[in-house]
């Protein structure tokens, strides 16, 4: 009888271990299944985000094409630009014309004038006393009085006061005006 009890004990023990192993495998299998489902959801979410981004890129490309077409419509050119040095009267005069060469009406037309030093930085002119510690930046914006119709030309004349510039600053401004590439004049506008 002893051997029979040992046999029953052995069968029960092995059966319990086997059942425990099967249960552990079922838990691992369930965890693996949950992980796979979560990864599928992550992939679906990423694919949705990708399709939304592609739609946004397509929309931005269409806007870019539209803006490029609008840019071609609006264009302006500078003509007969001259600088007049009136140092005895303490100013420098910028004269010329702006012509609307595009196919659109131009509003808020503004000239952007930048005077640069040899390193390509905008000149900061030191002022004489009583304004001595201050500096005047040679980046100027001059708005035109009227909008420009298609093909229209408008003359302009703007003054830069030099009364309080120190000698070195005035020399730097004169050099920038006389040297090609150190005086940048751009036309900024809004087309309609």
- pLDDT of residue 189 exceeding 70, the answer is yes
Query: 69-99, pLDDT tens digit by residue?
Result: 555 567 788 888 888 888 777 888 889 888 8
pLDDT, tens digit (0-9, with 9 covering 90-100), for 26-76: 888 888 889 989 999 999 999 999 989 888 888 888 887 776 655 556 778
- Kindly report the pTM of this predicted structure: 0.56
- For 137-146, the pLDDT digits (tens) are 888 888 888 8
Over residues 104-124, the mean pLDDT reads 84
| 139-143/106-115 β-pairing | antiparallel
Rounded Cα distance, 66 and 137, in Å: 36
CATH class, range 75-191: mainly beta
CA distance 161 to 118: 22
Q: Is the pLDDT of residue 149 over 80?
A: yes
Indicate the domain borders of the chain. 1-73, 75-191
Mean pLDDT for the chain? Answer: 81
Q: CA-CA distance, 156 to 190, in Å (whole number)? A: 18
Using a pLDDT cut of 70, give the percent of the chain over it. Answer: 84
């Amino acid at each position: 009888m002893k051997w029979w009890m040992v046999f029953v004990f052995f069968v029960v023990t092995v059966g319990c271990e086997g059942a425990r192993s099967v249960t552990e495998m079922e838990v691992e299998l369930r965890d693996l299944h949950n992980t796979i489902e979560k990864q599928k959801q992550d992939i679906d979410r990423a694919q949705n985000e990708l399709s939304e981004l592609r739609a946004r890129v397509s929309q931005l490309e269409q806007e870019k094409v539209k803006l490029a077409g609008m840019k071609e419509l609006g264009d302006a050119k500078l003509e007969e630009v001259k600088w007049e040095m009136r140092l005895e009267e303490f100013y420098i005069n910028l004269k010329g014309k702006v012509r609307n060469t595009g196919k659109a009406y131009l509003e808020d037309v503004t000239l952007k004038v930048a005077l640069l030093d040899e390193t390509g930085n905008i000149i900061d002119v030191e002022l004489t006393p009583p304004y001595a510690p201050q500096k005047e930046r040679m980046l100027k914006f001059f708005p035109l009085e009227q909008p420009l119709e298609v093909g229209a030309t408008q003359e302009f004349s703007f003054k830069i006061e030099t009364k309080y510039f120190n000698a070195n600053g005035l020399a730097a401004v004169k050099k920038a005006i006389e040297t090609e590439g150190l005086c940048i004049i751009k036309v900024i506008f809004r087309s309609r």
